[in-house]
Structure 1
Amino acid sequence: MAPTETLTAERILATTEDVLRRHGAAKATVVDVARALGVSHAAVYRHFRTKAALREAVTKRWLDRTTAELKLVVEDRSIPADERLRGWFTALFAAKRKKAGDDPELFATYEVLLGENSDVVEEHIADLVGHLRLIVEEGVARGELVAPVADPELTARAVFDATGRFHDPCYSREWFKPGIDEAFTAVVELTLAALRP
Protein backbone atom coordinates (compact mmCIF):
# COMPACT_ATOMS: atom_id res chain seq x y z
CA MET A 1 0.00 0.00 0.00
CA ALA A 2 1.21 3.50 -0.69
CA PRO A 3 2.55 5.31 2.38
CA THR A 4 0.67 8.46 1.30
CA GLU A 5 -2.63 6.72 2.07
CA THR A 6 -4.10 7.90 5.38
CA LEU A 7 -3.12 5.64 8.23
CA THR A 8 -6.22 4.69 10.20
CA ALA A 9 -6.85 2.19 12.97
CA GLU A 10 -9.03 0.17 10.57
CA ARG A 11 -6.29 0.04 7.96
CA ILE A 12 -3.79 -1.07 10.60
CA LEU A 13 -6.15 -3.81 11.81
CA ALA A 14 -6.79 -5.12 8.30
CA THR A 15 -3.06 -5.21 7.59
CA THR A 16 -2.36 -6.86 10.95
CA GLU A 17 -4.79 -9.60 9.99
CA ASP A 18 -2.86 -10.18 6.76
CA VAL A 19 0.46 -10.23 8.62
CA LEU A 20 -0.92 -12.70 11.16
CA ARG A 21 -2.15 -14.92 8.35
CA ARG A 22 1.33 -14.97 6.79
CA HIS A 23 3.52 -15.19 9.89
CA GLY A 24 1.30 -16.57 12.67
CA ALA A 25 0.83 -15.13 16.14
CA ALA A 26 4.24 -16.24 17.41
CA LYS A 27 6.27 -14.53 14.67
CA ALA A 28 4.19 -11.50 13.63
CA THR A 29 5.57 -8.21 14.94
CA VAL A 30 4.52 -4.58 14.89
CA VAL A 31 7.53 -3.96 12.62
CA ASP A 32 6.04 -6.47 10.14
CA VAL A 33 2.74 -4.61 10.22
CA ALA A 34 4.46 -1.25 9.76
CA ARG A 35 6.54 -2.59 6.88
CA ALA A 36 3.39 -3.92 5.15
CA LEU A 37 1.79 -0.50 5.56
CA GLY A 38 4.88 1.38 4.37
CA VAL A 39 5.16 3.35 7.61
CA SER A 40 7.36 3.35 10.69
CA HIS A 41 6.46 1.20 13.66
CA ALA A 42 6.12 4.44 15.65
CA ALA A 43 3.21 5.39 13.38
CA VAL A 44 1.44 2.14 14.28
CA TYR A 45 2.12 2.77 17.97
CA ARG A 46 0.39 6.15 17.70
CA HIS A 47 -2.85 4.22 17.10
CA PHE A 48 -2.14 1.22 19.34
CA ARG A 49 0.13 1.93 22.31
CA THR A 50 1.45 -1.62 22.62
CA LYS A 51 1.71 -4.84 20.63
CA ALA A 52 -0.76 -6.35 23.12
CA ALA A 53 -3.26 -3.54 22.45
CA LEU A 54 -2.98 -4.15 18.70
CA ARG A 55 -3.49 -7.89 19.11
CA GLU A 56 -6.45 -7.28 21.40
CA ALA A 57 -8.03 -4.89 18.90
CA VAL A 58 -7.60 -7.29 15.98
CA THR A 59 -9.11 -10.11 18.06
CA LYS A 60 -12.09 -7.94 19.00
CA ARG A 61 -12.58 -6.95 15.35
CA TRP A 62 -12.61 -10.61 14.34
CA LEU A 63 -15.15 -11.57 17.01
CA ASP A 64 -17.32 -8.52 16.35
CA ARG A 65 -17.90 -9.67 12.77
CA THR A 66 -19.72 -12.74 14.10
CA THR A 67 -21.66 -10.70 16.65
CA ALA A 68 -22.85 -8.28 13.97
CA GLU A 69 -24.16 -11.12 11.76
CA LEU A 70 -26.04 -12.65 14.70
CA LYS A 71 -27.53 -9.34 15.75
CA LEU A 72 -29.50 -9.29 12.50
CA VAL A 73 -31.20 -12.55 13.53
CA VAL A 74 -31.92 -11.22 17.03
CA GLU A 75 -33.54 -8.08 15.65
CA ASP A 76 -35.90 -9.89 13.26
CA ARG A 77 -39.00 -9.94 15.44
CA SER A 78 -41.22 -10.96 12.55
CA ILE A 79 -40.56 -14.65 13.19
CA PRO A 80 -41.38 -16.71 16.31
CA ALA A 81 -38.77 -16.90 19.05
CA ASP A 82 -38.03 -20.60 18.57
CA GLU A 83 -37.33 -19.99 14.87
CA ARG A 84 -35.12 -17.04 15.79
CA LEU A 85 -33.17 -19.26 18.17
CA ARG A 86 -32.77 -21.94 15.49
CA GLY A 87 -31.67 -19.29 13.00
CA TRP A 88 -29.27 -17.75 15.50
CA PHE A 89 -27.58 -21.07 16.31
CA THR A 90 -27.43 -21.98 12.62
CA ALA A 91 -25.81 -18.63 11.80
CA LEU A 92 -23.35 -18.96 14.69
CA PHE A 93 -22.29 -22.48 13.71
CA ALA A 94 -22.00 -21.48 10.04
CA ALA A 95 -19.88 -18.42 10.90
CA LYS A 96 -17.54 -20.37 13.16
CA ARG A 97 -17.19 -23.24 10.71
CA LYS A 98 -16.58 -20.82 7.83
CA LYS A 99 -13.79 -19.09 9.75
CA ALA A 100 -12.16 -22.42 10.62
CA GLY A 101 -12.55 -23.91 7.13
CA ASP A 102 -11.93 -20.98 4.81
CA ASP A 103 -8.79 -19.69 6.46
CA PRO A 104 -7.33 -22.35 8.78
CA GLU A 105 -4.02 -20.49 9.23
CA LEU A 106 -5.76 -17.35 10.45
CA PHE A 107 -8.18 -19.39 12.57
CA ALA A 108 -5.24 -21.11 14.30
CA THR A 109 -3.63 -17.73 14.87
CA TYR A 110 -6.83 -16.42 16.41
CA GLU A 111 -7.01 -19.40 18.73
CA VAL A 112 -3.68 -18.19 20.15
CA LEU A 113 -4.91 -14.59 20.34
CA LEU A 114 -8.16 -15.67 22.02
CA GLY A 115 -6.08 -17.29 24.75
CA GLU A 116 -4.17 -14.03 25.25
CA ASN A 117 -7.24 -11.79 25.31
CA SER A 118 -9.58 -13.36 27.82
CA ASP A 119 -11.35 -10.05 28.52
CA VAL A 120 -12.21 -9.65 24.84
CA VAL A 121 -13.45 -13.25 24.72
CA GLU A 122 -15.55 -12.81 27.85
CA GLU A 123 -17.08 -9.65 26.37
CA HIS A 124 -17.87 -11.56 23.16
CA ILE A 125 -19.50 -14.41 25.10
CA ALA A 126 -21.48 -11.90 27.16
CA ASP A 127 -22.75 -10.34 23.91
CA LEU A 128 -23.79 -13.74 22.56
CA VAL A 129 -25.52 -14.76 25.79
CA GLY A 130 -27.22 -11.34 25.75
CA HIS A 131 -28.61 -12.13 22.30
CA LEU A 132 -30.06 -15.39 23.59
CA ARG A 133 -31.46 -13.72 26.68
CA LEU A 134 -33.28 -11.15 24.57
CA ILE A 135 -34.80 -13.80 22.30
CA VAL A 136 -35.85 -15.93 25.28
CA GLU A 137 -37.32 -12.97 27.19
CA GLU A 138 -39.28 -11.82 24.16
CA GLY A 139 -40.42 -15.37 23.45
CA VAL A 140 -41.65 -15.81 27.02
CA ALA A 141 -43.43 -12.43 26.91
CA ARG A 142 -45.18 -13.45 23.65
CA GLY A 143 -46.10 -16.88 25.03
CA GLU A 144 -43.92 -18.63 22.44
CA LEU A 145 -41.36 -19.96 24.93
CA VAL A 146 -41.12 -20.94 28.57
CA ALA A 147 -38.02 -20.48 30.66
CA PRO A 148 -37.08 -23.67 32.58
CA VAL A 149 -35.53 -21.47 35.28
CA ALA A 150 -36.86 -18.13 36.48
CA ASP A 151 -33.68 -16.18 35.71
CA PRO A 152 -33.52 -15.37 31.96
CA GLU A 153 -29.75 -14.90 32.18
CA LEU A 154 -29.32 -18.44 33.54
CA THR A 155 -31.61 -19.82 30.85
CA ALA A 156 -29.67 -18.02 28.13
CA ARG A 157 -26.34 -19.19 29.53
CA ALA A 158 -27.59 -22.78 29.80
CA VAL A 159 -28.76 -22.72 26.17
CA PHE A 160 -25.40 -21.28 25.11
CA ASP A 161 -23.46 -23.89 27.08
CA ALA A 162 -25.61 -26.75 25.78
CA THR A 163 -24.62 -25.92 22.22
CA GLY A 164 -20.93 -25.28 22.94
CA ARG A 165 -19.75 -28.12 20.72
CA PHE A 166 -20.89 -26.09 17.72
CA HIS A 167 -19.32 -22.73 18.53
CA ASP A 168 -16.45 -23.16 20.99
CA PRO A 169 -13.19 -23.10 18.99
CA CYS A 170 -11.79 -25.99 21.05
CA TYR A 171 -14.21 -28.24 19.10
CA SER A 172 -13.27 -26.87 15.67
CA ARG A 173 -11.75 -30.16 14.50
CA GLU A 174 -15.15 -31.83 14.94
CA TRP A 175 -17.01 -29.28 12.79
CA PHE A 176 -16.05 -31.01 9.56
CA LYS A 177 -16.56 -34.64 10.57
CA PRO A 178 -19.31 -36.77 9.02
CA GLY A 179 -22.57 -36.55 10.95
CA ILE A 180 -21.84 -33.15 12.53
CA ASP A 181 -24.82 -31.49 10.84
CA GLU A 182 -27.17 -34.16 12.17
CA ALA A 183 -25.64 -33.81 15.64
CA PHE A 184 -26.10 -30.04 15.46
CA THR A 185 -29.75 -30.39 14.46
CA ALA A 186 -30.39 -32.88 17.26
CA VAL A 187 -28.88 -30.64 19.94
CA VAL A 188 -30.71 -27.54 18.70
CA GLU A 189 -34.03 -29.39 18.49
CA LEU A 190 -33.62 -30.83 22.00
CA THR A 191 -32.77 -27.37 23.30
CA LEU A 192 -35.79 -25.82 21.59
CA ALA A 193 -38.06 -28.59 22.87
CA ALA A 194 -37.07 -27.67 26.43
CA LEU A 195 -38.09 -24.06 25.80
CA ARG A 196 -41.42 -24.59 24.05
CA PRO A 197 -44.64 -24.30 26.06
Structure 2
Amino acid sequence: MPPTSETLTAERILEATEDVLRRHGPAKATVVDVARALGVSHGSVYRHFRTKAALREAVTKRWLDRTTEELAGIVAATDRDPQTRLRDWLAALLEAKRRKAGDDPELFATYSVLAADAGEVVGAHLTELTDQLTEIVRAGVAAGTFTTPDPATTARALFHATGRFHDPGYAREWERPEVWDDFAAVVDMLVRGLRA
Protein backbone atom coordinates (compact mmCIF):
# COMPACT_ATOMS: atom_id res chain seq x y z
CA MET A 1 0.00 0.00 0.00
CA PRO A 2 1.62 3.31 -1.01
CA PRO A 3 1.76 5.94 1.73
CA THR A 4 -0.69 8.79 1.44
CA SER A 5 0.30 12.38 2.19
CA GLU A 6 -3.19 13.84 1.97
CA THR A 7 -5.61 13.85 4.87
CA LEU A 8 -8.22 11.17 4.46
CA THR A 9 -11.62 12.81 4.10
CA ALA A 10 -15.06 11.49 3.28
CA GLU A 11 -14.86 13.29 -0.07
CA ARG A 12 -11.57 11.57 -1.00
CA ILE A 13 -13.07 8.22 -0.04
CA LEU A 14 -16.13 8.87 -2.22
CA GLU A 15 -13.95 9.87 -5.19
CA ALA A 16 -11.89 6.70 -4.80
CA THR A 17 -15.07 4.64 -4.43
CA GLU A 18 -16.35 5.97 -7.75
CA ASP A 19 -13.09 4.94 -9.44
CA VAL A 20 -13.22 1.49 -7.86
CA LEU A 21 -16.87 1.04 -8.86
CA ARG A 22 -16.03 2.10 -12.40
CA ARG A 23 -13.26 -0.49 -12.62
CA HIS A 24 -14.82 -3.41 -10.75
CA GLY A 25 -18.57 -2.83 -10.80
CA PRO A 26 -20.85 -2.99 -7.76
CA ALA A 27 -20.74 -6.77 -7.39
CA LYS A 28 -16.95 -7.01 -7.10
CA ALA A 29 -15.95 -3.66 -5.57
CA THR A 30 -14.99 -3.92 -1.90
CA VAL A 31 -14.03 -1.55 0.87
CA VAL A 32 -10.56 -3.13 0.76
CA ASP A 33 -10.30 -2.09 -2.91
CA VAL A 34 -11.21 1.49 -1.96
CA ALA A 35 -8.69 1.50 0.89
CA ARG A 36 -5.99 0.09 -1.41
CA ALA A 37 -6.67 2.83 -3.98
CA LEU A 38 -6.24 5.43 -1.22
CA GLY A 39 -3.16 3.81 0.31
CA VAL A 40 -4.82 3.34 3.70
CA SER A 41 -6.20 0.46 5.74
CA HIS A 42 -9.82 -0.54 5.31
CA GLY A 43 -10.29 0.42 8.97
CA SER A 44 -9.53 4.02 7.99
CA VAL A 45 -12.38 3.92 5.47
CA TYR A 46 -14.71 2.43 8.09
CA ARG A 47 -13.95 5.37 10.42
CA HIS A 48 -15.76 7.58 7.90
CA PHE A 49 -18.38 5.08 6.72
CA ARG A 50 -19.40 2.50 9.31
CA THR A 51 -20.51 -0.13 6.77
CA LYS A 52 -20.14 -0.98 3.11
CA ALA A 53 -23.84 -0.15 2.72
CA ALA A 54 -23.28 3.31 4.24
CA LEU A 55 -20.41 3.92 1.80
CA ARG A 56 -22.56 2.83 -1.14
CA GLU A 57 -25.43 5.08 0.01
CA ALA A 58 -23.08 8.03 0.36
CA VAL A 59 -21.54 7.55 -3.09
CA THR A 60 -25.04 7.17 -4.60
CA LYS A 61 -26.22 10.35 -2.85
CA ARG A 62 -23.16 12.24 -4.06
CA TRP A 63 -23.87 11.15 -7.63
CA LEU A 64 -27.54 12.12 -7.44
CA ASP A 65 -26.76 15.44 -5.74
CA ARG A 66 -24.75 16.56 -8.75
CA THR A 67 -27.96 16.69 -10.76
CA THR A 68 -29.95 18.37 -8.00
CA GLU A 69 -27.30 21.06 -7.54
CA GLU A 70 -27.17 21.75 -11.27
CA LEU A 71 -30.95 22.20 -11.38
CA ALA A 72 -31.01 24.40 -8.28
CA GLY A 73 -29.49 27.25 -10.28
CA ILE A 74 -32.49 27.25 -12.61
CA VAL A 75 -34.90 27.25 -9.68
CA ALA A 76 -33.03 30.17 -8.10
CA ALA A 77 -33.17 32.30 -11.28
CA THR A 78 -36.25 34.17 -10.08
CA ASP A 79 -35.55 37.04 -12.51
CA ARG A 80 -36.66 34.70 -15.35
CA ASP A 81 -40.29 33.90 -16.05
CA PRO A 82 -41.56 30.64 -14.53
CA GLN A 83 -42.57 29.13 -17.87
CA THR A 84 -38.99 29.46 -19.18
CA ARG A 85 -37.60 28.16 -15.89
CA LEU A 86 -39.90 25.13 -16.09
CA ARG A 87 -38.85 24.35 -19.65
CA ASP A 88 -35.17 24.90 -18.83
CA TRP A 89 -35.36 22.78 -15.67
CA LEU A 90 -36.93 19.83 -17.50
CA ALA A 91 -34.43 20.15 -20.38
CA ALA A 92 -31.50 20.36 -17.96
CA LEU A 93 -32.72 17.24 -16.16
CA LEU A 94 -32.85 15.31 -19.44
CA GLU A 95 -29.43 16.59 -20.48
CA ALA A 96 -27.87 15.75 -17.10
CA LYS A 97 -29.21 12.20 -17.27
CA ARG A 98 -28.11 11.81 -20.91
CA ARG A 99 -24.59 12.96 -19.98
CA LYS A 100 -24.39 10.51 -17.10
CA ALA A 101 -25.58 7.63 -19.26
CA GLY A 102 -23.53 8.53 -22.34
CA ASP A 103 -20.27 9.88 -20.93
CA ASP A 104 -19.65 7.15 -18.38
CA PRO A 105 -21.85 4.14 -19.18
CA GLU A 106 -20.01 1.82 -16.77
CA LEU A 107 -20.59 4.14 -13.83
CA PHE A 108 -24.17 4.83 -14.94
CA ALA A 109 -24.88 1.09 -14.94
CA THR A 110 -23.20 0.77 -11.55
CA TYR A 111 -25.32 3.55 -10.09
CA SER A 112 -28.47 1.99 -11.46
CA VAL A 113 -27.63 -1.09 -9.40
CA LEU A 114 -26.65 0.94 -6.33
CA ALA A 115 -29.77 3.11 -6.55
CA ALA A 116 -31.96 0.02 -6.38
CA ASP A 117 -30.38 -0.76 -3.00
CA ALA A 118 -30.44 2.83 -1.72
CA GLY A 119 -34.19 3.33 -1.48
CA GLU A 120 -34.10 6.11 1.09
CA VAL A 121 -31.38 8.01 -0.79
CA VAL A 122 -33.27 7.74 -4.07
CA GLY A 123 -36.54 8.68 -2.37
CA ALA A 124 -34.95 11.79 -0.88
CA HIS A 125 -33.51 12.69 -4.29
CA LEU A 126 -36.90 12.37 -5.98
CA THR A 127 -38.48 14.48 -3.24
CA GLU A 128 -35.82 17.14 -3.73
CA LEU A 129 -36.47 17.19 -7.48
CA THR A 130 -40.23 17.49 -7.07
CA ASP A 131 -39.71 20.20 -4.43
CA GLN A 132 -37.70 22.16 -7.00
CA LEU A 133 -40.48 21.77 -9.54
CA THR A 134 -43.04 22.80 -6.91
CA GLU A 135 -41.11 26.02 -6.33
CA ILE A 136 -41.21 26.83 -10.05
CA VAL A 137 -44.93 26.04 -10.31
CA ARG A 138 -45.68 28.17 -7.22
CA ALA A 139 -43.77 31.06 -8.79
CA GLY A 140 -45.84 30.61 -11.94
CA VAL A 141 -49.08 30.72 -9.96
CA ALA A 142 -47.89 33.83 -8.07
CA ALA A 143 -46.99 35.52 -11.38
CA GLY A 144 -50.34 34.61 -12.92
CA THR A 145 -48.62 32.48 -15.57
CA PHE A 146 -49.87 29.11 -14.31
CA THR A 147 -53.14 28.08 -12.80
CA THR A 148 -53.37 25.16 -10.42
CA PRO A 149 -54.99 24.71 -7.02
CA ASP A 150 -52.09 22.61 -5.70
CA PRO A 151 -48.57 23.34 -6.98
CA ALA A 152 -47.07 20.31 -5.20
CA THR A 153 -49.51 17.87 -6.83
CA THR A 154 -48.97 19.55 -10.19
CA ALA A 155 -45.19 19.31 -9.78
CA ARG A 156 -45.41 15.59 -9.08
CA ALA A 157 -47.64 15.16 -12.14
CA LEU A 158 -45.14 17.07 -14.30
CA PHE A 159 -42.32 14.91 -13.00
CA HIS A 160 -44.18 11.68 -13.73
CA ALA A 161 -45.42 12.88 -17.12
CA THR A 162 -41.84 13.52 -18.22
CA GLY A 163 -40.42 10.33 -16.68
CA ARG A 164 -39.46 8.91 -20.04
CA PHE A 165 -36.90 11.72 -20.31
CA HIS A 166 -35.22 11.26 -16.92
CA ASP A 167 -35.99 7.83 -15.50
CA PRO A 168 -32.86 5.65 -15.92
CA GLY A 169 -35.05 2.82 -17.16
CA TYR A 170 -35.42 4.76 -20.42
CA ALA A 171 -31.71 5.55 -20.86
CA ARG A 172 -31.44 3.69 -24.17
CA GLU A 173 -34.09 5.96 -25.69
CA TRP A 174 -32.19 9.15 -24.82
CA GLU A 175 -29.73 8.66 -27.66
CA ARG A 176 -32.41 8.43 -30.34
CA PRO A 177 -32.23 11.43 -32.71
CA GLU A 178 -35.89 12.30 -32.15
CA VAL A 179 -35.71 12.35 -28.35
CA TRP A 180 -35.51 16.16 -28.22
CA ASP A 181 -38.49 16.52 -30.59
CA ASP A 182 -40.50 14.12 -28.44
CA PHE A 183 -39.40 15.98 -25.32
CA ALA A 184 -40.40 19.37 -26.77
CA ALA A 185 -43.83 18.06 -27.76
CA VAL A 186 -44.53 16.70 -24.28
CA VAL A 187 -43.29 19.85 -22.53
CA ASP A 188 -45.27 22.12 -24.88
CA MET A 189 -48.44 20.18 -24.09
CA LEU A 190 -47.79 20.30 -20.34
CA VAL A 191 -47.04 24.03 -20.34
CA ARG A 192 -50.19 24.77 -22.36
CA GLY A 193 -52.17 22.86 -19.75
CA LEU A 194 -50.68 24.94 -16.93
CA ARG A 195 -51.23 28.35 -18.46
CA ALA A 196 -53.68 30.63 -16.72
User: TM-score normalized by structure 1?
Assistant: 0.97
Give the conservation status (yes or no) of the 8 Å contact 2:74–2:89: yes
**Which residue number in structure 2 is paired with residue 175 of structure 1?**
174
Aligned residue type for 2:151: P
C-alpha separation in 2, matches of 1:159 and 1:57? 28
The match for 1:55 is 56
Q: Deviations over 1:154-197 (max 9, x none)?
A: 11100100000000000001100131110011111111111112
Q: What value does the CA root-mean-square deviation take over the aligned residues?
A: 0.9
Structure 2 equivalent of residue 165 of structure 1:
164
Are residue 184 (structure 1) and residue 177 (structure 2) matched? no
CA distance in 2, matches of 1:26, 1:41: 18
> What amino acid is the match of 2:10?
A
1:16-69 alpha-carbon deviations (Å, 9 max, x no partner): 000000000111000000000000000000000000000000000000000000
User: Structure 1 vs Structure 2: percent identity of aligned residues?
Assistant: 62
Partner of 2:95: 94
Between the aligned partners of 1:19 and 1:69, the Cα distance in structure 2 is 25
Deviation at residue 2 of structure 1 after TM alignment: 4.7
CA distance in 2, matches of 1:109, 1:101: 13
Match of 1:145 in 2: 146
**Aligned equivalents of 2:154, 2:179: Cα separation in 1:** 25
1:110-137 C-alpha deviation (Å, 9 max, x unpaired): 0000000011001000000000101111
Query: What amino acid is aligned across from residue 186 of structure 1 in structure 2?
Result: A
Would the alpha carbon gap of residues 90 and 30 (structure 1) be closer, same or farther in structure 2, given more than 3 Å must change?
A: same
Gaps of 5+ in 2: none
Q: Quote the residue 1:114 is aligned against.
A: 115
- Aligned position for 1:7: 8
Amino acid in structure 2 at the alignment position of 1:75: A
Distance 2:93 2:8 in 1: 33
* Whole-angstrom distance in 2 between the partners of 1:44 and 1:79: 44
Structure 1: segments with no counterpart, 5+ residues: none
CA contact (8 A) 2:3 2:40 kept: no
Deviation digits for residues 66-108 of structure 1, max 9, x if unmatched?
0000000000011111100000011100000000000000000
- Partner letter of residue 95 of structure 1? A
3-state SS, counterpart of residue 56 of structure 2: helix
Q: Which residue in the other structure is 1:77 paired with?
A: 78
Alignment-mate amino acid for residue 16 of structure 1: T
Distance 2:102 2:192 in 1: 30
What residue is the counterpart of 1:16 in the other structure?
A: 17
